[in-house]
Amino acid sequence: MAETRSPHILSTSANLLGICFIVRTSLKKLNLSDSSLIDEFAVVAVMCFMTSCILSFISMRKGESISQRLEKTADFIFLSGLIVLFVATILIAFNLIS
């Protein structure tokens, strides 16, 4: 029996999606979103994690052949979101963006 990653992708994407929303809301409340690139990184990460959540949820509901394709796509998009957050963290750590 093949191991499915969809439940793991769904739960982790949903958690990271919540964190991105907190970052975005904090920047808006502090009026820092106009002078910072962090807001744009957060938006891209939100899009990646939301897409990953949707695809992994759908993959749990579909047949095996389409489920595997959706799961792989969700996995790739999830990894893309992680890379966006990693790049943003590195840029913040080295004071390249404020």
pLDDT at residue 93, rounded to an integer: 83
Mean pLDDT across the stretch 80-94? 90
Q: How far apart are CA 30 and CA 12, in angstroms?
A: 27
Q: Is the pLDDT of residue 13 over 90?
A: yes
Q: What is the domain partition of the chain in residue ranges? A: 17-93
Using one digit for the tens of pLDDT, what is the confidence trace for 47-70?
999 999 999 999 988 888 899 999
Confidence of residue 32 (pLDDT cuts 50, 70, 90): confident
Mean of per-residue pLDDT scores for the chain? 87
Mean pLDDT across the stretch 29-40? 77
pLDDT at residue 85, rounded to an integer: 93
Sign of the CA dihedral running 66, 72, 73, 74: positive
Confidence of residue 33 (pLDDT cuts 50, 70, 90): low
